[in-house]
Chains A and B, each alone.
Chain A
Amino acid sequence: MSLAAQPPLAETRIAAAERRKGRILFGAAAIAVLLVLVDLGTGPGNVALRDVLRALANPGEVDIRLGVIVWDIRLPVALQASLLGAMLGLAGAQMQTILDNPLADPFTLGVSSAAGVGASVAIVTGLSLVPGTGPFLVSANAFVFAFGAALLVFFFSVARGATSETMILFGIALMFAFNALLAMLQYRASETQLVQIVFWMMGSLQRATPERLAAGFAILAAVGGVMWRRRWALTAMRFGDDRAASLGVDPRRLRLETLLLVAVLSATSVSYAGVIGFVGLVGPHIARLAVGEDQRWFAPLSAVCGAALLSAASIAAKSITPGVIYPIGIVTALVGVPVFLSIIGGKKSAAR
């Protein structure tokens, strides 16, 4: 290679590369939608996909039983899988971007466990960390804990000498700490409280309501919108703080802002469905391999991959044992751990 002058790059090739990424994003979105439909067609109650589609298209013309199964039971769950998958995928992608660590996600860094403990504190003691939250007590506590843990991760990451691996170890340490706190809460919990806590810690999509879904989509849109406005700055962060700063990006501020947004996403997700691990790890991992780390494609594709993954997990949770719906967190962990290990292995072999 030489530095000698060459003819300007053909714009058509760049345009072609961008169209290819657009097609990948579109294709992934189509798969995600398809999985939502399959998810709707799966589950107890023996309803075929064809009947589901019929009930969706003409709500008034199907019998009540079918209508209830599709509209009141399956649709909220399926949409929630998609929503939370997108949230976790996006949260993981941005955590990985600002911490320069492909292993980071709300679960591996202990943020989700923290949110789970926050929720449990509310369930067991009724103690609110934010006054006046009323019916949102559990969610508010989950958020405060999630953000606290995110801040801990942040301060640890800016401390000198924090490599990707030590960050993950720090996250595991946080997880141990929060699990101990959780065990303490479980020990003094009543039986009903215990059931609630187990729901939180294993992750379950079964408690979806239209209002919560609407609020969730609004949160995702708002957070996604802010991240979209920061897309160039976030991409520039991939070149390290100094280079980003030289381009007019304030790395510390961007990191803190983004971490706050990530905490909003993961706390919302945890407050809706408990701790669901590894979606924020696997979704962005696939997206990065497919379109690279340009935020214009990386962020939306991470969200779409997360949504598709959680829909697939929801389908699996209902299909493994007929008649049993496993907690979704168990399924995602089973899929996520091998990917997590493969990223660690891949990092080692790529190390120069």
Chain B
Amino acid sequence: MKGLHFSDVCVDYGTRSVLRGVGAAPLLPGTVTALVGPNAAGKSTLMRAIAGIVPIARGAIAVDGMRIEALRLRQRAQYVRYVPQTYATNARLSVYDAVHVAARAAAPDEAPRKIRLAVAETLARAGTAELSERLVCDLSGGQQQLVALAQGLVRAAPVLLLDEPTSALDLRNQLEALRLLREAATRDGITVAVAMHDLALAARHADRVILLSRGAIVADGSPDEVFSDPACGVAYGVAIAATRSASGSLHIEASLQ
């Protein structure tokens, strides 16, 4: 079975259960899935559980048919790459070195020359080539987020999970970042999942939307299906109206009830 498959994933923080048996149809290679839901719905926890950063109490996680939930971080990194929401860093490393170390840490046995080529290519694709000699700690928040994105893309794993990857980006870079993710999916056949707050962005850029609320999946399908599902408004506690405009783009309007 290709892609990312997870079923019955449970995560507890102490006695509080954060994910309660989360499972979905496989996320397919070459597609971009948006994970949406209100704050504390469990989006980040689900990604961190898949990446192996938080332990799961129960459940199965597989990438391309290979069960990974029991793998240690070292092996798991060969299947999943996770870009957390926190992009700010005081690391005194050049942008090039930052992306380089990501590639080296993820693939310590790869030939150095191949790594360097991959780094240069990623930097160019992510539009950070001109920053490559600047120190990461001197960059703006948005630029640091681009570096985090480049760290996720360099020598990418088959599954790429990103938590709010555009939160600090300006309008243009938001669109460019989403284009990059789309390109990673279509060109490299990567399974991409992105946690998002901006439903309009999700509607426009995702093939599939998974809506989480209170640690469970409450809607799953195409953007049209999920955003016109009443469960969506219920989850957020707002009224949501999804309409297709004449040009065919999905328009989302949210208002307080």
Q: Give the B-binding residues of A (Cβ under 8 A).
A: 1-9, 11, 13-14, 17, 100, 232-233, 235-236, 238-250, 288, 292-294
Interface residues of B in 144-177 (CB under 8 A from A): 146, 148, 151-152, 172-173, 176-177
Measured CB to CB, the closest approach of chain A to B226, in angstroms, equals 27
CA distance A248 to B110 in the complex (A): 14
Measured CB to CB, the closest approach of chain B to A217, in angstroms, equals 27
B-side contacts of A2, CB under 8 Å? 127, 172-173, 176
**Top 3 nearest A-B pairs by Cβ distance?**
A248-B77, A3-B176, A3-B127
B-side contacts of A233, CB under 8 Å? 105
Q: Quick check: A14 and B96 within 8 Å, CB to CB?
A: yes
Q: Quick check: B51 and A3 within 8 Å, CB to CB?
A: no
Q: Quick check: B83 and A246 within 8 Å, CB to CB?
A: yes
CA distance A7 to B75 in the complex (A): 33
B91 at the interface (CB under 8 A from A): yes
Name the residue on A nearest B125 (C-beta).
A5
Measured CB to CB, the closest approach of chain B to A301, in angstroms, equals 13
A-B contacts, 18 of them at CB < 8 A, read A1-B143, A3-B146, A3-B172, A3-B173, A4-B127, A6-B129, A13-B133, A235-B93, A235-B105, A238-B93, A242-B86, A246-B51, A246-B77, A246-B152, A247-B81, A247-B102, A248-B75, A292-B97
B-side contacts of A7, CB under 8 Å? 124, 129
Name the residue on B nearest A235 (C-beta).
B101
CA distance A3 to B122 in the complex (A): 11
Q: Give the A-binding residues of B (Cβ under 8 A).
A: 48, 51-53, 72-78, 80-84, 86, 89-94, 96-98, 101-102, 104-106, 108, 116, 120-121, 123-133, 135, 143, 146, 148, 151-152, 172-173, 176-177, 179-180
Measured CB to CB, the closest approach of chain A to B102, in angstroms, equals 6
With a 10 A CB-CB cut-off, give which of A2, A248, A250 has the most chain B CB atoms: A248
Q: Quick check: A3 and B108 within 8 Å, CB to CB?
A: no
A3-B126, A236-B102 known; A9 vs B96 contact (CB < 8 Å): yes
Measured CB to CB, the closest approach of chain B to A161, in angstroms, equals 16
Name the residue on A nearest B177 (C-beta).
A3
Q: Quick check: B127 and A5 within 8 Å, CB to CB?
A: yes
Q: Quick check: A247 and B106 within 8 Å, CB to CB?
A: yes
A14-B116, A292-B94 known; A248 vs B53 contact (CB < 8 Å): no
CA distance A292 to B98 in the complex (A): 11
CA distance A232 to B115 in the complex (A): 13
Q: Quick check: B73 and A248 within 8 Å, CB to CB?
A: yes
A-side contacts of B179, CB under 8 Å? 3
CA distance A13 to B125 in the complex (A): 18
A232-B101, A250-B72 known; A288 vs B84 contact (CB < 8 Å): no
A1-B131, A232-B105 known; A240 vs B92 contact (CB < 8 Å): no
Measured CB to CB, the closest approach of chain A to B119, in angstroms, equals 8
Q: Quick check: A248 and B94 within 8 Å, CB to CB?
A: no
B interface majority secondary structure:
helix
CA distance A288 to B124 in the complex (A): 27
Q: Quick check: B53 and A242 within 8 Å, CB to CB?
A: yes
B-side contacts of A8, CB under 8 Å? 120-121, 123-124, 129
Name the residue on A nearest B132 (C-beta).
A9
CA distance A293 to B105 in the complex (A): 15
- Tally A-B pairs: CB < 8 A: 135
Name the residue on B nearest A293 (C-beta).
B92
Q: Quick check: A245 and B51 within 8 Å, CB to CB?
A: yes
CA distance A98 to B222 in the complex (A): 43
Name the residue on A nearest B123 (C-beta).
A9
Q: Quick check: A239 and B127 within 8 Å, CB to CB?
A: no
Measured CB to CB, the closest approach of chain B to A306, in angstroms, equals 18
Q: Quick check: B125 and A246 within 8 Å, CB to CB?
A: no
CA distance A179 to B133 in the complex (A): 46
CA distance A136 to B188 in the complex (A): 59
Measured CB to CB, the closest approach of chain B to A205, in angstroms, equals 32
B-side contacts of A246, CB under 8 Å? 51, 53, 77, 80-84, 152
Measured CB to CB, the closest approach of chain A to B113, in angstroms, equals 9
CA distance A135 to B213 in the complex (A): 65
Q: Quick check: A293 and B172 within 8 Å, CB to CB?
A: no
Q: Quick check: B91 and A17 within 8 Å, CB to CB?
A: no
Q: Quick check: B86 and A248 within 8 Å, CB to CB?
A: no
Q: Quick check: A243 and B72 within 8 Å, CB to CB?
A: no
Q: Quick check: B91 and A293 within 8 Å, CB to CB?
A: yes
Q: Quick check: A292 and B74 within 8 Å, CB to CB?
A: no
Name the residue on A nearest B75 (C-beta).
A248
CA distance A324 to B77 in the complex (A): 58
A-side contacts of B80, CB under 8 Å? 246
Q: Which of A243, A245, A250 contacts B148 (CB 8 A)?
A: A243
A7-B124, A9-B124, A242-B86 known; A248 vs B106 contact (CB < 8 Å): yes
A-side contacts of B151, CB under 8 Å? 239, 243, 247
B-side contacts of A14, CB under 8 Å? 96, 116, 120, 132
B-side contacts of A250, CB under 8 Å? 72-74
CA distance A9 to B146 in the complex (A): 16
Measured CB to CB, the closest approach of chain B to A104, in angstroms, equals 14
Q: Quick check: A9 and B129 within 8 Å, CB to CB?
A: yes
A1-B130, A17-B133 known; A238 vs B91 contact (CB < 8 Å): yes
Q: Which of A240, A248, A294 contacts B76 (CB 8 A)?
A: A248
